[in-house]
């Protein structure tokens, strides 16, 4: 099981380093990135938020809210997760997506834990934070599918968002278990079969916050590279919503390749306390999973 814990840590580290790397290029075009950085390969901060090198954004912060909510309550309960979202939004954070903000404010003002169906809800803000759910449900893909959607609908209630969360979570789980690449690709192919918008052929379109654009960007990078660094570099140099595409690619690639594949120069830029917490949460989530504990009584 040592390999699983290593890959679980790498999945959460991947969220953070992908976020920090991509935040520099957020809202830039590929041409603008090339003109300013050449190929962006280092975590240097800056960007429109003027971040310090290694500083993370809402992608990592909301992922932490999910992980802390699960571990803190010791079971599956949306309330503690939503409470942490509310505390985080009250911070306030430097930036938050419009759909996430709407959903959290609905919870804060009306105590409604499930956002209503919303044709505007096909953003990537739920898929970017699904990694802790993949760890917590490790060993039970059916449970993953249900809980991934439940956490998504705190803020996002749209079939494309739901399906994206399930696909990303499934790819992370299969990576954690050391499955061959074809099994991870099968999860993406199943998504595309159900929702043809996510088709897998090479993608050179917008890398926007629309979850279809996001996952097509991530899939193109993940399946056309063979290591963690190249996957993330290819992802974030597409620009657009690069912190989110980077964090999702980082979670999937981390689960597949493990901690040793993450460049040390990237890990060193992260705050040490953040690294320690991500490592601890990853291990605790996996220890709570069906793989170690049997089916979760509270989630049946």
In the chain, the N- to C-terminal Cα span, in Å, equals 25
Buried b (16+ CB within 10 A) or exposed e, 210-245: bbbbbbbbbbbbbeebeebbebbbbbbbbbbbbbbb
Distance CA 168, CA 212 (A): 12
pLDDT in tens, the chain (300 residues): 459 999 999 999 999 999 999 999 999 999 999 999 999 999 999 999 999 999 999 999 999 999 999 999 999 999 999 999 999 999 999 899 999 999 999 999 999 999 999 998 999 999 999 999 999 999 999 999 999 999 999 999 999 999 999 999 999 999 999 999 999 999 999 999 999 999 998 898 899 999 999 999 999 999 999 999 999 999 999 999 999 999 999 999 999 999 999 999 999 999 999 999 999 999 999 999 999 987 554 443
pLDDT confidence of residue 242:
98
Domain of 71, in residue numbers: 2-299
Q: How many domains does the chain have?
A: 1
Indicate the pTM of the whole model: 0.96
Closest CA to 176 of 63, 256, 278: 256
Q: Which two tokens stand for residue 292?
A: 């170690």
* CB-CB contact of 161 with 132 (8 Å): no
Look up the CATH number of the domain holding residue 68. Answer: 1.10.4080.10
Q: Burial level of 2, CB count in 10 A (0-12/13-18/19+)?
A: exposed
pLDDT confidence of residue 202:
85
């Amino acid at each position: 099981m040592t390999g699983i814990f290593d890959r679980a840590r790498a999945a959460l580290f991947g969220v953070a380093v992908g976020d920090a790397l991509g935040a520099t290029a957020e809202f830039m075009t590929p041409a603008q990135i090339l003109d300013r950085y050449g190929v962006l390969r280092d975590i240097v901060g800056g960007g429109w938020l003027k971040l310090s090198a290694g500083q993370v954004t809402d992608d990592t912060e909301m992922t932490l809210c999910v992980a802390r909510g699960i571990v803190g309550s010791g079971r599956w309960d949306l309330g503690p997760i939503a409470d942490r979202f509310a505390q985080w939004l009250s911070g306030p954070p430097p930036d938050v997506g419009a759909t996430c903000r709407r959903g959290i404010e609905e919870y804060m003002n009306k105590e409604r834990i499930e956002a209503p169906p919303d044709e505007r809800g096909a953003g990537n803000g739920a898929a970017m934070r699904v990694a802790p759910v993949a760890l917590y449900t490790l060993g039970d893909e059916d449970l993953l599918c249900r809980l991934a959607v439940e956490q998504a609908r705190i803020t996002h209630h749209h079939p494309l968002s739901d399906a994206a969360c399930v696909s990303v979570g499934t790819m992370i789980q299969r990576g954690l278990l050391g499955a061959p690449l074809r099994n991870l690709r099968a999860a993406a192919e199943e998504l595309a079969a159900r929702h043809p918008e996510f088709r897998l052929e090479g993608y050179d379109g917008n890398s926007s916050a629309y979850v279809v654009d996001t996952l097509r960007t991530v899939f193109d990078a993940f399946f056309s590279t063979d290591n963690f660094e190249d996957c993330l570099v290819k992802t974030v140099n597409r620009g657009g919503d690069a912190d989110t595409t980077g964090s999702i690619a980082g979670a999937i690639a981390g689960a597949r390749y493990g901690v040793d594949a993450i460049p040390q120069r990237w890990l060193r830029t992260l705050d040490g306390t953040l690294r320690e917490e991500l490592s601890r949460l990853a291990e605790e989530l996996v220890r709570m999973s069906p793989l170690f504990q049997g089916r979760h009584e509270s989630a049946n």
